[in-house]
A and B are shown apart, each in its own frame.
Chain A
Amino acid sequence: MRRGTLVVVLVVSAFLLPTWYVASQGEPPSEEVQIDGSVSEIRPLDGFVDTPNKLSPSQVGVIVWVALLVLLGVLAFFHRFMNRAARPSRGATQAPAEGSGDGDVPETAADGGRATFSWLETEDRWIVEYVPASDAIEGLIAMGTLTVLTITFAALFTGEYLTLARTQYFGIYAFGMFMSLAGLTVSYYAWFMPHVEVAERRDHR
């Protein structure tokens, strides 16, 4: 880490961490809300993990910032994985001509041209990097597995809706479903979509 970055991180942390410590003290624990089971069949409070019954606004603040930072971390990981896996042969195919920044070989169609979407290249926009999809078998396995997971979580979610409607189970099923969908998209991008980068003139409309 650069010295300047370290200084900024240390100074901000020196104020942020005590603030978060104070904010996390918030509400003391309290008794769970008692539900009369004769009124409704659903059991929204049932679950498999003991969680707090209430959170103060300050505790919510700490949690949401930590969640946001974790979300960004996971996003950065997936984003980089998509780009790295999309360029499986970058190192091998880099043919460094003098002054060239990239050396990936574009996919060639039967007529000698490159297969891309018609809207990518215009008078003011052109392709600066093109890496064909690897179509690797591991991509197919990943997508198959994630498809099964998505369907399973969706089925569990629906089953929960039709029965006890427990919030914790809804949460974990929805989380699994959306993570599987994210993984599916990442896998499709990484293994089955050409990695394309374009450049365009800023002043065009």
Chain B
Amino acid sequence: MSRIERLYGWFDDRLGLERSKSFLGKAFPAEDSYLLGEVALFCFLVLVLTGIFLGFFFEPSTSDVEYEGSVAEYQGEEIPEAFASVLNITYDVPFGMLIRRMHHWAAHLFVASMALHMLRVFFTGAYRNPREVNWLVGTALAGTSMFAAYTGYALPFDEFASTAVGIGYNVALSIPIVGETAAYLVFGGNFPSSATIPRFYFLHVLVLPLVIAGLLGLHMAILIRQKHTEAQRDEDLPGPERRADDDATGVAADGAGVERVDRDDDSIVAGLPAFPNQAAVSAVVFFLTLATLSLLAGFLPVHNVAQYGPNDPASTPSLIMPDWFLMWGYGFLKLVPAWMSFDLLGVHGSSEFIGGIVLTGLVFGVVAVWPFIDYEEEPVHFAADPIERPFQTAVGVAGVVFILLASLAGMDIIVADILGMTTAELKPYFIAALFAGPLAAGLTVYAGLGGFGDDAPAGEGSADEPAADGSASDAAAESPVDATDGVTDSTTDDASNDEGGDR
């Protein structure tokens, strides 16, 4: 027995490696868009690693110190310690600027890849039974990640960030009854106070990453247990009785026919084994994600604090806006008119509360409950074709358009500048567009996909649903037994149980 085998045996005795080795063969469907989740996962890994590096140098304090670093503009000035430490990381630590930019770009790519991942899941109906729970976990993950990015945005305590974060403080304060408590808990009192940055730092480097890591772990545990959805297969698969001594032509070594798994049988999931094939694909995703972040960090600045200067309570930057993924919420804040504030049973609800909490909460709420609106009685394991689902796709497109228009409203200063109007003049148009735009987009898509019946798509679960290659799925009209050309096995029997009228 070699040393390596003895070492393996030592660990195996203690950890039961041999019993769990079969996990390495788990099937991962080889779809390009299914790798979006991995991009998000690797971005989180980059965030943690670069965050550890930054944590060595960052000082979470607003106390003034005399700056002695290499940025000429601030030399000899009294500036907040947090701001000075970020200048130090950026300009005086070898590859500090690269790591800091990578951290920022990874945060943005994390949110973007998660959003695109959610859109992929939405449009392919991958949230349906039995994956509702994982959709809820994913939604919580998206919300937590946005909040984590928000807390990180404030840490340099520069003029731009502190002004933008101040808007969040006012929104937190606007929550009826518990507003002051919530604002105190998150911001440590009147913003900006000396407690805000330490509190944000604690949330940003410990609490929120732990929550995100926990949710990611839960998300993946559920995924591993339920297994992936899978795109509609083009052809039948060889069945479980096929073994190494059979050849791949469907003929066993003894000349007998090898059983087949029907292409519509979703009780089986097919794909690349986790190791080594999927592991190699994941390594490519990892390296490409790092390459993208390196290129972005090397050439494009993000949140360049030296340009903005330290927080100055006496001034307001000319162009204030939050991170792009919070822009839609900022748009709501700008569009909700003051007259919408209310007093109910002695409780005051301001327009900030309606725009910043109620409307954004409604958007997240609708996203969260969607699997229970588009509900399936029976489990569905194949990804849907969005073109075959006019209603759901129209709702999804309307939602995307709604967020885009709200984001545009958040950038109303730029729009006004382009159009030569004032933001006040633009406001009614934005409000009208926020209602009319999604409706028009949704109806156009619904009509374009034949939702009104003039060009009806093949119904889901209908026997003549077109296959991925455009051919009719005759097999779906047959019983699984018939579809397997007379071969019966437990696999196809399972399929008949799983396939209700849900596809």
Binding site for B on A (CB under 8 A): 2-5, 7-8, 11-12, 14-16, 18-19, 22-23, 25-27, 30, 33-37, 39-40, 42, 44-45, 47, 49, 51-58, 60-65, 67-68, 70-72, 74-76, 78-80, 82-83, 95-106, 112-114, 116-122, 124-130, 161, 165, 167-172, 174-175, 178-179, 181-182, 185-186, 188-189, 193, 195-203, 205
B75 and A36 within 8 A (CB): yes
Q: How many interface residues does B have (CB within 8 Å)?
A: 126
B323 and A74 within 8 A (CB): no
Asked if A4 meets B248 with Cβ closer than 8 Å, knowing A76-B32, A189-B277, the reply is: no
Please tell me if B283 contacts chain A, counting CB pairs below 8 Å. yes
> Which chain B residue shows the least CB distance to A18?
B408
Besides A22-B414, A61-B108, A198-B273, 18 new A-B residue pairs in contact (Cβ under 8 A), listed by A number: A2-B387, A15-B437, A23-B324, A25-B418, A51-B299, A53-B304, A64-B105, A119-B24, A124-B240, A125-B26, A126-B238, A171-B294, A174-B98, A179-B288, A182-B283, A197-B30, A198-B270, A201-B267
**Which of A8, A61, A68 is in CB contact (< 8 Å) with B445?**
A8
Residues of A within 8 A of B285 (CB): 75
Residues of A within 8 A of B25 (CB): 117, 119-122, 125, 198, 200
Q: Among residues 252 to 308 in chain B, which have CB atoms less than 8 Å away from a CB atom of chain A?
A: 260-261, 266-273, 275-277, 280-281, 283-285, 287-292, 294-304, 306-308
A128 to chain B, nearest CB (A): 5
Interface centre among A118, A122, A128, A193 (most CB of B within 10 A): A128
B112 and A64 within 8 A (CB): yes
Residues of B within 8 A of A57 (CB): 321-324, 327
B397 and A172 within 8 A (CB): no
| CA distance in complex: A122, B72 (Å) | 66
- Contact stretch, chosen from B47-55, B88-96, B176-184, B189-197: B88-96
| CA distance in complex: A3, B292 (Å) | 33
B98 and A170 within 8 A (CB): yes
B145 to chain A, nearest CB (A): 14
A182 and B73 within 8 A (CB): no
| CA distance in complex: A117, B297 (Å) | 40
**Which of B237, B289, B297 is in CB contact (< 8 Å) with A199?**
B237
> Which chain A residue shows the least CB distance to B23?
A119
Residues of B within 8 A of A205 (CB): 225
A63 and B96 within 8 A (CB): no
**Which of A22, A55, A99 is in CB contact (< 8 Å) with B250?**
A99
Asked if A58 meets B94 with Cβ closer than 8 Å, knowing A67-B109, A170-B298, A196-B273, the reply is: no
**What are 24 A-B contacts defined by CB distance under 8 Å?**
A3-B448, A15-B441, A19-B407, A26-B414, A33-B73, A53-B301, A54-B301, A58-B321, A60-B303, A61-B323, A61-B324, A67-B296, A72-B36, A122-B22, A128-B237, A161-B95, A170-B294, A171-B299, A178-B290, A178-B291, A182-B291, A185-B280, A197-B272, A199-B270
Please tell me if B316 contacts chain A, counting CB pairs below 8 Å. no
Please tell me if B152 contacts chain A, counting CB pairs below 8 Å. no
| CA distance in complex: A36, B272 (Å) | 55
Residues of B within 8 A of A98 (CB): 250
Asked if A174 meets B298 with Cβ closer than 8 Å, knowing A42-B92, A75-B32, the reply is: yes
Interface centre among A18, A195, A199 (most CB of B within 10 A): A199
B277 and A196 within 8 A (CB): yes
Residues of A within 8 A of B300 (CB): 51-52, 55, 63
**Which of B284, B319, B322 is in CB contact (< 8 Å) with A79?**
B284
Please tell me if B235 contacts chain A, counting CB pairs below 8 Å. yes
Binding site for A on B (CB under 8 A): 21-27, 30, 32-33, 35-36, 39, 68-73, 75, 90-92, 94-98, 101, 105, 108-109, 112-113, 116, 225-227, 234-240, 242-245, 247-251, 260-261, 266-273, 275-277, 280-281, 283-285, 287-292, 294-304, 306-308, 319, 321-325, 327, 381, 386-387, 393, 397, 400-401, 404-405, 407-408, 411, 414-415, 417-418, 437, 441, 444-445, 448-450, 457, 485, 491, 494
A175 and B298 within 8 A (CB): yes
Asked if A8 meets B272 with Cβ closer than 8 Å, knowing A56-B321, A58-B327, A185-B287, the reply is: no
**Which of B321, B397, B485 is in CB contact (< 8 Å) with A12?**
B397
Asked if A39 meets B292 with Cβ closer than 8 Å, knowing A4-B387, A58-B321, A101-B236, the reply is: no
Residues of A within 8 A of B239 (CB): 126
| CA distance in complex: A68, B33 (Å) | 12
B355 to chain A, nearest CB (A): 18
| CA distance in complex: A25, B288 (Å) | 29
| CA distance in complex: A122, B303 (Å) | 52
| CA distance in complex: A51, B36 (Å) | 29
**Which of A5, A70, A97, A203 is in CB contact (< 8 Å) with B387?**
A5
Residues of A within 8 A of B404 (CB): 15-16, 19
**Which of A2, A61, A182, A188 is in CB contact (< 8 Å) with B325?**
A61
A171 and B295 within 8 A (CB): yes
| CA distance in complex: A11, B449 (Å) | 12
Residues of A within 8 A of B401 (CB): 11-12, 15
A69 to chain B, nearest CB (A): 8
Residues of B within 8 A of A99 (CB): 236, 250, 260, 485
B448 and A36 within 8 A (CB): no
| CA distance in complex: A56, B30 (Å) | 37
| CA distance in complex: A139, B323 (Å) | 44
Residues of B within 8 A of A186 (CB): 284
